[in-house]
């Protein structure tokens, strides 16, 4: 996997600010579609419902159908950037900002998740970004065989508690 480790720092708003910056060998439009289309998100992250447009509401479900997080798009400039609230069950509301830019070797994605209460979000996002990489490459078999829990457990050591 080409996914580069993210960073975790204390957030000025409380909790942690987690950042990832990745480049993928694809177009801005394809990357934007992969991160905003519920059908594509469902292939590499979780079953999603809703609309990724300004004011749009969305939710994500566990495989058993229970909702684990939901949010509202508070800013959107497609296909370049969006900001959304993220309200996971039994947690405080946080904010995610995603930006997509054209670069010489494809499309760059920057993800910032601000205000999370646990550093454990970092290995989670890292794991999901590895799945996004497989999805963008069209590696259906690799995506299907990916063991999320095992990879997350392996990556936790890269993002230790402060």
**pLDDT tens digits for 50-86?**
999 999 999 999 889 999 999 999 999 999 999 999 9
- The rounded distance, in Å, linking the Cα atoms of 84 and 53 is 10
In this model, does residue 44 exceed pLDDT 70? yes
With CA atoms as reference, report the closest residue to 2 among 133, 99, 127.
133
pLDDT in tens, 108-157: 999 999 999 999 999 999 999 999 999 999 999 999 999 999 999 999 99
In this prediction, residues 29-39 reach a mean pLDDT of 97
In the prediction, which pLDDT does 162 show? Answer: 57
In the prediction, which pLDDT does 2 show? Answer: 74
In this model, does residue 161 exceed pLDDT 90? no
In this prediction, residues 34-50 reach a mean pLDDT of 95
In the prediction, which pLDDT does 3 show? Answer: 83
In this prediction, residues 34-40 reach a mean pLDDT of 96
Q: What is the β-pairing status of strands 106-116 and 67-77?
A: unpaired
Q: In what order do the strands lie in the sheet with 81-88?
A: 7-10, 16-24, 106-116, 94-103, 81-88, 67-77, 57-61, 48-50
In the prediction, which pLDDT does 6 show? Answer: 96
In this model, does residue 1 exceed pLDDT 70? no
């Amino acid at each position: 996997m080409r996914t580069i480790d993210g960073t975790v720092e204390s957030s000025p708003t409380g909790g942690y600010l987690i950042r990832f910056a990745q480049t993928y060998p694809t177009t801005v439009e394809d990357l934007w579609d992969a991160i905003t289309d519920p059908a594509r998100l469902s292939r590499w992250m979780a079953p999603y419902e809703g609309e990724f447009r300004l004011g749009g509401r969305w939710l994500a479900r566990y495989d058993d159908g229970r909702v684990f997080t939901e949010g509202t798009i508070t800013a959107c400039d497609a296909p370049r950037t969006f900001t959304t609230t993220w309200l996971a069950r039994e947690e405080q509301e946080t904010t995610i900002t995603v930006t997509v830019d054209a670069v010489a070797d494809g499309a760059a994605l920057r993800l910032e998740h601000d205000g999370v209460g646990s550093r454990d979000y970092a290995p989670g996002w890292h794991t999901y970004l590895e799945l996004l990489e497989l999805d963008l490459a069209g590696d259906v078999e690799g995506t299907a065989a990916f063991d999320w829990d095992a990879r997350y457990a392996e990556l936790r050591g890269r993002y230790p508690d402060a």
